[in-house]
Structure 1
Amino acid sequence: MVRFILIFLLFLASLLAVFPAPTYHLWILAILVTEFSYIFIVVLLIVFLLKSRNIWYKKVGNLFALIALMLFLSPVFRAERIASKLPGQLAATFGNRASNLEVPHLKTPFSFFSMFSGIDGKAVPFQTFTYKTYPGISLSLDFYPVKTASKKPCVIVVHGGSWSGGDDKQLPELNSYLSRRGYQVASIDYRLAPEYQNPSPVEDVKSAISYLKANAEKLQIDTNNFVLLGRSAGAQIALLAAYTLKNEGIKGVISYYGPADMIWGYAVPSNPLVLNSRQVMEDYLGGTYQQVPVRYAASSPILQVDAQSVPTLLIHGKNDVLVSYQHSVRLNAKLNQLKVKHFFLSLPWATHGCDYNLNGPSGQLATYTVERFLNVVTFVK
């Protein structure tokens, strides 16, 4: 009986590899199930080996165990399928600069064995600088330097946190990884809601760029080669900044599961058991859509993008329960319409925060795509 119950609970957990999480805590479990699936597989195999005296429970438990095993493995199978097509798709979109020959150190988009290898390299020590001071608040950035004698492109990372939380220490592994690959990385803080509302964070991105430009000699930054990278709420800020800040040397923008259409997002809120998305947006924009429709329009990247906008990389999981996958679908369609160079990495099994584990299926595919995108948009002829 105990064996059956444990197997059944693991079976229920495995469903999160294919279905959206219905509550906040199950969303967190979904990240573990999809990006650390090998842990659940090992536990499942251990439980499977337990003895059961009841034949009926044993047979039914074995069936649930088999189904759970296939579901736990499904992100790996699907990642392999995406990986087989990804290099060709990137080359077709961006040309030879996105090919493996140009970025030879990572030859495959996904490797099953890389899931067990740990983070690629040690963490890069960062320096913290204050880039802007307002009355009562100072904004800082963490700078991950490249050891170089020449100026390098700079990736500006904008953290997530529903516009009201988070900081520049969020998910630092990618910052170190990109620094080791030759990109200066600046992970920035910005003013948070509800005390500060849009467009304050975009103004902070502009201030961060100004600071980095003013200190370009010391920090060895190529001021004509900035790329904005944001996650979740930070992706909305990064997209909006990239599409509205002109002549700032921004060459591209990367959105990890970011809100792109604030008007549509308010009309179609997320599951309240996961996130009260309308309240989050009201805190950020100063009211409901009916009260401040102009602010919702002004904060929607999909309404600010035009034919001259910078190249864009969208990364989003179909099972995202905090920021709907449709945000990226809609922006992708708009970019297609405007013929803006872009790529949409769609991850069928993934949920919000899917890049938490750089070596998970989502993390490997996303990092591979980000590298090739950076290699294209920061290339100096």
Structure 2
Amino acid sequence: MVKLILTIILFLISLLTVLPAPAFYLWLLAIAVDEFPWIFAAIILVIIFINFRSSSYQLPTMILAIISLGLYLSPVFRSYLVGRELEKNLAVAFGKEIKKGAFEFRPFSYTQMFKPKEKTPCQSVSYYKNGKTDLKLDFYPSQIKGKKPCVIIVHGGSWKSGDSQQLPELNSYLAKNGYHVAAINYRLAPEFQSPAPVKDISNAFRFLKEKSTEWNIDTTNFILLGRSAGAQIALLAGYSLKEPGLKGIVDLYGPADMVWGYSIPSNPLIMDSRKVMEDYLGGGYSGHPEKFEKSSPLLFVTKQSPPTLLIHGKNDVLVAYEHSKRLNAKLEENGVKHYLITLPWATHAFDYNLYGPGGQISTYAIMYFLKSVTEQP
């Protein structure tokens, strides 16, 4: 009986690979299910093995276990399918074919899922001081010598939390492969509201240019990369600041249409999205429509906007996939080089594990994009 109950629980958990999480802690579990699927698959295989040696509830246990196993492995299969066409699609979208072997990461590899995490050194420095405000960034120098492009990373956290230490594995990987990385902190809501974080990015650009000789930064090759709320900030800065050295933007599951987003709130068991936006923008849409419009990256897209890579999971329960669809359409309308990678199984923060199914796809795409737009040899 215990074996059957455990199998039922595991079956219910496996549904998170195909259905949106209905509550906050189930969303956290969904990240683990989607990006560490082999752990859950291994548990199911143990149950199947034990079940062969047991006579009690053998048939129902076996049926549920086999279905669960298929669901747990589905992100792996679907990641393979997305990765199979990814290189070709990116080459068409950004007009540059990267030679095979230019970087070690592949769109998807089963063996790659078990690689150990890498870590490169970084230094934390203040990039902007004004009164009590002291903003720091973590600088990861390129591990390949010479003047190199710089990727500015903008963390997520609903505009009110998070910091530059968020998901550092990608920073280390980029530094190892010839990119400087500046993971920045910015002023947080509700004390500071939009457009304060965009001004912080402007100050980060200024600081990195001042440091360019000392740190060997190629100031003609900057990239902005943001996650979630950080992606909204990165997109808005990228489309509105007109930074001459900015060559591209990477948008990982970011809110691009603040007006639409406020009109369709997320599941309150996950997050009070309207309250989050009100804290960031100083109130609701009815009283401050201009603030919502001025904070919607989609409305700042022009024919001169920098190339943009969008990556979003269809099962995202914090920032609706529709945001990326809308931005994708606006970029298409204006003839901006762009590509939207859709991950059918993935939820918010799917890139938590650099070597998980979603993490592999996003890391490969980011590397391909960087090499395409920064004219790296």
Settle same-fold status: TM greater than 0.5. yes
Question: Following the alignment from structure 1 to structure 2, what is the Cα–Cα distance between the partners of residues 105 and 258?
Answer: 26
The alpha-carbon deviation at position 95 of structure 1 amounts to 2.6
What per-residue deviation string (whole Å, max 9, x for no partner) do you get for residues 103-133 of structure 1?
Answer: 52336310011111223xx311101110001
Query: Match for 1:141 among 133, 137, 140?
Result: 137
The alpha-carbon deviation at position 208 of structure 1 amounts to 0.5
Query: Match for 1:295 among 283, 291, 294?
Result: 291
Q: 1:378 to 1:248 in 2, by over 3 A?
A: same
- Matched position secondary structure for 2:57: helix
The alpha-carbon deviation at position 58 of structure 1 amounts to 1.7
Structure 2 counterpart of 1:358, one-letter code: L
Equivalent residue for 1:331? 327
Question: Following the alignment from structure 2 to structure 1, what is the Cα–Cα distance between the partners of residues 296 and 324?
Answer: 12
Equivalent residue for 2:174? 178
The alpha-carbon deviation at position 148 of structure 1 amounts to 4.8
Q: 1:228 to 1:7 in 2, by over 3 A?
A: same
Question: Following the alignment from structure 1 to structure 2, what is the Cα–Cα distance between the partners of residues 153 and 44?
Answer: 45
Structure 2 counterpart of 1:289, one-letter code: Y
Equivalent residue for 1:365? 361
| Structure 2 counterparts to residues 97-136 of structure 1, below 5 A | 97=97, 99-101=98-100, 104-106=102-104, 108-119=106-117, 122-136=118-132
Contact 1:155 1:185 in 2 (8 A): yes
Contact 2:164 2:183 in 1 (8 A): yes
Structure 1 counterpart of 2:204, one-letter code: A
| Structure 2 counterparts to residues 27-176 of structure 1, below 5 A | 27-51=27-51, 57-97=57-97, 99-101=98-100, 104-106=102-104, 108-119=106-117, 122-176=118-172
Contact 2:226 2:252 in 1 (8 A): yes
Contact 1:3 1:48 in 2 (8 A): no
Deviates more, 1:240-249 or 1:158-167: 240-249
Deviates more, 1:319-328 or 1:371-380: 371-380
What per-residue deviation string (whole Å, max 9, x for no partner) do you get for residues 343-373 of structure 1?
Answer: 1111000000000000000000100000010
CA RMSD across the alignment: 1.5
Q: 1:80 to 1:100 in 2, by over 3 A?
A: farther
Contact 1:19 1:319 in 2 (8 A): yes
Structure 2 counterpart of 1:80, one-letter code: Y
Contact 1:7 1:48 in 2 (8 A): no
Structure 1 counterpart of 2:354, one-letter code: L
Identity %: 53
Contact 1:209 1:248 in 2 (8 A): no
Length, aligned pairs only: 377
Question: Following the alignment from structure 2 to structure 1, what is the Cα–Cα distance between the partners of residues 224 and 207?
Answer: 15
The alpha-carbon deviation at position 249 of structure 1 amounts to 1.1
Q: What runs of 5+ residues in structure 2 fail to find an aligned partner?
A: none
Contact 1:106 1:368 in 2 (8 A): no
Equivalent residue for 2:20? 20
The alpha-carbon deviation at position 147 of structure 1 amounts to 3.9
| Structure 2 counterparts to residues 179-328 of structure 1, below 5 A | 179-328=175-324
TM-score (norm: length of structure 2): 0.97
Q: What runs of 5+ residues in structure 1 fail to find an aligned partner?
A: none
What per-residue deviation string (whole Å, max 9, x for no partner) do you get for residues 125-168 of structure 1?
Answer: 10111000122120000000014552110000000000000000
Contact 2:106 2:360 in 1 (8 A): no
TM-score (norm: length of structure 1): 0.96
